[in-house]
A and B are shown apart, each in its own frame.
Chain A
Amino acid sequence: MKILVCITHVPDTTSKINFVEGNSKLDTTNMQFIIGPYDDYALARGVELRDALGGTLTVLNVGTAETEPTLRKALAIGADDAIRIDAEPTDAFFVSEQIAEVAKKHNYDLILMGRESSDYNGGQVHGMVGEMLGIPSLSPVMKLDIEGSTAKMAREIEGGKEYLEANLPLVLGVQEPIAEWKIPNMKGIMTARKKPLEVIQPANPTQYTQPQQYELPAAKGACKMIAPEEAEKLIELLKTEAKVL
């Protein structure tokens, strides 16, 4: 079993978002970066499957040198080796093409990633990679078991779940509760330093979209407090003042 897990390097969920250089660039001053929360689930399930079925797990990120600590963390969690494609991840099509190029050379049985990144929230890369490789893609997958060459999965749909079966190879965008996040232990952190991390140059730098500018949402007004003994007044305010009923 050859598994590829693609991870994003994103601002910690608690980060305050601001922009610099005429609102054209994210202000990363003092910002903590983490493995994308959904990607962390993909990595955790990938490690479990590799441990149960044997084989290898490669972790991949499209990013500049500053994302290497994030890749090292993924190695500490249990990936066998890492690939960094040395480029700014400018849009989903560009990132997908880089992943597809690597995948064409390595014939992975399973390509896992989060359902979406928590920065640009596109949820597009798994589908694009699947189309580029000519293999099925599914998302958001919340349960995944492998039996022989068949994947048995549950996918979240609006108001419920859908159970699916498909032959490998597959590209999957995943979400909880597919696995529990794993925290690296000391042994993992020590061995991660020695695991291979290959840096490769991007191929075919094509973009389908061109980012221009950011803006922040309008500031929220103060919260209007209502005394609990007059709770029913809230319904009136929602109707006449907020006009949402």
Chain B
Amino acid sequence: MSVLVFVEVADGEVKGSSLEAVGYGAEVAKQQGTTATAIVLGTSIAADKLAALGKYGAAKVLHVADEKLNNGVIQAYVQVLAQAFEQTGAKILIVAKSSLSDAVTARLSVRLKASLASNVTDLPSTNGGFTVKKSVFTGKAFQTISLANENKIIALKKSAFSPVDSGSPAPVETFSASLSDADFGVKITKTDKITGELLLTEADLVVSGGRGLKGPENWGVILDLAKALNAATGCSKPVSDLDWRPHHEHVGQTGVKVAPNLYVAVGISGAIQHLAGVSSSKCIVVINKDPEAPFFKAADYGIVGDAFEILPKLTAAAQKLK
């Protein structure tokens, strides 16, 4: 019996959220008196990066080196992970919550008869049972639930666990899964994806702009500050609705939900739908011309004033930090 951790790759690197999942998986394995095995699908990652998962707590890394798995094909991923779960004799699967892992773990829950908890924020409590705490009501509350089935799946919320790079590289083994054409029945015809940029969902720091910036041509001040801080960029719903910025940057209730260490909101009034997407941030900075903007009530730091004067000052100060 071991703990299996599903590791996602983006741009040839292990995703930061997946490192959190590996570290978390190692702790859960310790609680259960066993070890954590990481599994990586596809051929877009170098061998040394696979072994390096050992430093974050994986005792062993399984690699499914099939290039057909370089895209996140949901049905095929379910097949591979179900086979790995059964063959390694795992009882617990850990994943970092993402749009891919949501889709995959739901199907796995049915196939493996596994209790599934998503958006989990803490290590399980194993005093008389097995319970986890998860974020609910879009960040407005937490709920403790019990996972009573023998098999369990935990989807970890971003930033809920800080992985420590302390161990040594782990052995990497090839894992062969049996896949059929039916597993690839859904055809991916094209992928449009930014490369070489920080992913919003993965970023520790986010700088977001709203309608207060008055137009897409003014985004330079946001991009400059983001670059100086090494932050990802986001935006409010009106900004993405107006096509000033692409939809994958829209932060909020119906867009991307983020949980960075720092969220800087510029020219965003703070409608409740936007707050729902950022309420799990550790520290929130609000910059707005309007001192009555509701966002200030949810902020840790605030500046009332003109973004076009304030942001260059912040960018200059951030550059000096380096």
Contacts and interface: CB of A to CB of B under 8 A. Distances in A.
B103 A165 contact: no
Contacts, number: 271
A225 B303 contact: yes
B191 A139 contact: no
Contacts of B191: 157, 160-163
B69 interface: no
Contacts of A227: 303
A127 B106 contact: yes
Interface stretch (A50-58, A65-73, A81-89, A235-243): A235-243
Nearest to B230: A245
B111 A131 contact: yes
B282 interface: yes
B106 A209 contact: no
Contacts of A235: 314, 317-318, 321
Given A128-B109, A132-B110, A166-B186, A211 B102 contact: no
Interface string B291-308: 000001111111111100
Given A13-B276, A231-B303, A211 B321 contact: no
A150 to B, nearest CB: 10
Q: Name the prevailing secondary structure of the A interface residues.
A: mixed
A208 B136 contact: no
A180 B136 CA distance: 26
Interface stretch (B38-46, B49-57, B71-79, B213-221): B71-79
Contacts of B78: 131
B99 interface: yes
Interface residues of B, number: 93
Given A136-B186, A163-B188, A127 B103 contact: yes
Interface in B177-209: 185-194, 197, 199-202, 205
B158 to A, nearest CB: 11
A34 to B, nearest CB: 12
Q: Name the prevailing secondary structure of the B interface residues.
A: mixed
A201 interface: no
A93 B153 CA distance: 13
Interface in A213-232: 213-217, 220-221, 223-228, 231-232
B84 interface: no
A232 B320 CA distance: 11
B95 to A, nearest CB: 12
Nearest to B309: A228
B99 A157 contact: yes
B135 interface: yes
Given A13-B272, A96-B110, A121-B118, A160 B189 contact: no
Interface of B: 10, 71-72, 74-75, 78, 98-100, 102-107, 109-111, 113-119, 131, 135-149, 185-194, 197, 199-202, 205, 229, 241, 247-248, 253-255, 261-262, 272-273, 276, 279, 282-283, 285-286, 296-306, 309-310, 313-314, 316-318, 321
Given A127-B107, A127-B109, A244-B262, 17 more contacts: A116-B102, A120-B143, A121-B138, A123-B103, A124-B118, A128-B110, A131-B78, A137-B74, A163-B188, A176-B255, A208-B113, A211-B144, A216-B142, A223-B296, A225-B302, A234-B285, A242-B283
Interface of A: 11, 13-14, 17, 19, 37-38, 41, 91-93, 96, 115-116, 118-128, 130-132, 136-140, 142, 155-167, 173, 175-177, 208-217, 220-221, 223-228, 231-232, 234-239, 242, 244-245
The 6 closest A-B pairs by CB, nearest first: A127-B106, A228-B305, A160-B193, A232-B317, A235-B317, A131-B110
22 contacts: A37-B254, A115-B102, A122-B116, A125-B106, A126-B106, A127-B74, A127-B109, A139-B103, A156-B248, A158-B201, A159-B248, A165-B189, A176-B247, A208-B115, A208-B149, A214-B141, A214-B143, A215-B142, A232-B317, A234-B317, A238-B262, A238-B301
